[in-house]
């Protein structure tokens, strides 16, 4: 994902004009939404998610957003809208879609989220660094008809949600339809080809690169600083909540930390599997977190309706 970002930024410095095909963002949302939904085990009801753990997850997320928002708005002097979008931890697709819907899209919001994503992916890699590395095998297996049916249903439902203003609608419907389908069908019938996930993450990187192409050197330094600070604040809040609730729940501190850290669900899941830290419980927490976080940007659209362009089909 980070490769395309760098390539697009270099291409811009070489005065090359690049653009992505129409509906790229829809493709990204569908593929990533379905891939995340398929991570949820078919026997999800067998996973014990204590109500107090759900309370801890929600309060931790609220604290993460609140602390980051206050820093960006009060210290960095960002607008309220940009501060809210920049403080939402780990819902980049929703934030990207909502940022693009603004009358004047903000590059600093996307840049801050990119810095956070880079930092958290590196952190997950450090956590799993003692595990035996596995070679990446990019397979080109066939797409099943069932998976195509799931994608079609998610696309139709996503179009309906888009009309009523839900941000990142195709990612939400992709997750939900994949979770439901995975509970009634064989996992083998719904295996998503790795090449599609690779293409979607690469396209996301290219989209970020295009949106960041006009950033200046001074803005680069300022927004990098902002991204590092809000990431550190979010991690600090997560550490405090994970420690406190580990005492209340008599649950492993590391399991709660991995469950609530605002990072890439794929990176966190891989690290959890390597370390043997109840990966299914961690995945369930992250899927719950993503569903909730995708509703937060919608609240921003309701609070600041005049800052957005009329609803239309976007790439």
Whether the predicted pLDDT of 306 surpasses 70: no
Confidence of residue 102 (pLDDT cuts 50, 70, 90): low
pLDDT in tens, 51-96: 899 999 999 999 998 999 999 999 999 988 888 888 887 667 667 7
Torsion of CA 168, 99, 207, 61, to 10 degrees: -60
CA distances, 213 to each of 7, 110, 207 (Å): 10, 11, 10
Question: Mean pLDDT, to the nearest integer, of 208-225?
Answer: 78
Confidence of residue 269 (pLDDT cuts 50, 70, 90): low
Question: Global pTM?
Answer: 0.75
Domain map (residue ranges) of the chain: 2-12+22-41+48-304
Max mean pLDDT among 40-44, 154-158, 170-174 falls in: 154-158
Whether the predicted pLDDT of 243 surpasses 90: yes
49 or 4: which carries more pLDDT confidence?
Answer: 49
pLDDT in tens, 127-138: 655 555 444 454
């Amino acid at each position: 994902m980070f490769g395309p970002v760098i390539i697009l930024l270099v291409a811009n410095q070489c005065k090359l004009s690049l653009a992505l095909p129409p509906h790229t963002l829809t493709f990204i949302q569908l593929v990533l939404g379905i891939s995340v939904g398929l991570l949820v085990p078919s026997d999800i009801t067998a996973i014990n998610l204590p109500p107090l753990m759900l309370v801890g997850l929600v309060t931790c997320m609220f604290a993460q957003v609140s602390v980051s928002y206050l820093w960006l708005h009060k210290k960095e002097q960002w607008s309220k809208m940009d501060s809210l979008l920049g403080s939402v931890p780990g819902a980049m697709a929703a934030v990207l879609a909502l940022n693009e819907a603004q009358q004047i899209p903000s590059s600093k919001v996307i840049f801050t989220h990119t810095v956070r994503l880079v930092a958290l992916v590196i952190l997950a890699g450090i956590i799993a660094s003692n595990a035996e590395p596995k070679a990446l095998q990019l397979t080109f297996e066939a797409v099943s008809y069932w998976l195509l049916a799931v994608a079609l249903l998610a696309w139709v439902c996503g179009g309906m949600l888009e009309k009523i203003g839900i941000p990142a609608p195709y990612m939400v419907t992709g997750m939900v339809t994949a979770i439901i389908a995975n509970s009634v069908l064989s996992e083998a019938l719904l295996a998503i080809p790795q090449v599609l996930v690779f293409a979607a993450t690469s396209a996301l990187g290219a989209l970020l690169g295009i949106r960041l192409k006009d950033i200046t050197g001074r803005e680069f330094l300022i927004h990098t600083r902002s991204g590092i600070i809000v990431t550190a604040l979010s991690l600090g809040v997560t550490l405090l909540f994970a420690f406190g609730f580990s005492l209340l729940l008599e649950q492993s501190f590391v399991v709660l930390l991995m469950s609530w850290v605002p990072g890439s669900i794929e990176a966190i899941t891989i690290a959890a599997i390597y370390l043997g830290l109840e990966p299914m419980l961690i995945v369930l927490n992250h899927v719950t977190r993503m569903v909730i976080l995708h509703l937060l940007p919608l609240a921003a659209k309701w609070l600041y309706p005049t800052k957005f362009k009329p609803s239309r089909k976007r790439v």
